[in-house]
């Protein structure tokens, strides 16, 4: 499965770099991601909290509010999101019941790989919330 995830990531890496060059462009991507995630919340229940945090990080980054995240992590996150929203990936979404499983695995893997970045962002977010 890990090799499948790496293959999926490579497929979307060049597009992810383009998004990373234009943070404002990610807003539309995030909206699509949240719609698909909401439709599949049951399948994503194990990663839901961290997925929400990941989306918040991307929103804060795209608005220029949060900059303490590496470009490499941003590209990795965007590539994972692109894989998630793509209807045609290693296991196409039209395969009812299993089409979302690989997408959830990719997101889970991404969350695990950037857990340090997510923790750092969560601390920043909490500190910022206390200041407001």
Domain count, the chain: 1
pLDDT tens for the chain, residues 1 to 132: 456 556 666 778 889 999 999 888 888 899 999 998 998 888 889 899 999 999 999 999 999 999 999 999 999 999 989 988 887 655 444 445 555 677 788 888 889 999 999 999 999 999 988 876
Query: What does the alpha-carbon distance between residue 40 and residue 63 come to, in Å, rounded to a whole number?
Result: 26
3-class secondary-structure state, position 20: helix
pTM reported for the whole predicted model: 0.83
Q: What is the domain extent for residue 91?
A: 2-131
């Amino acid at each position: 499965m890990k090799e499948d995830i790496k293959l999926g990531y490579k497929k979307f890496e060049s597009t992810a770099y383009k998004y990373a060059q234009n943070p404002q462009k990610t807003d539309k991507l995030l909206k699509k991601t949240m719609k698909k995630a909401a439709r599949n919340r049951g399948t994503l229940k194990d990663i839901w909290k961290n997925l929400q945090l990941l989306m918040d990080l991307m929103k804060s980054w795209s608005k220029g509010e949060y900059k303490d995240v590496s470009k490499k992590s941003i590209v990795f996150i965007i590539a994972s999101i692109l894989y998630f929203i793509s209807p045609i990936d290693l296991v196409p979404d039209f395969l009812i019941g299993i089409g979302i499983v690989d997408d959830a695995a990719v997101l889970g893997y991404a969350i695990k790989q950037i857990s340090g970045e997510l923790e750092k962002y969560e601390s920043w977010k909490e500190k910022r919330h206390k200041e407001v």
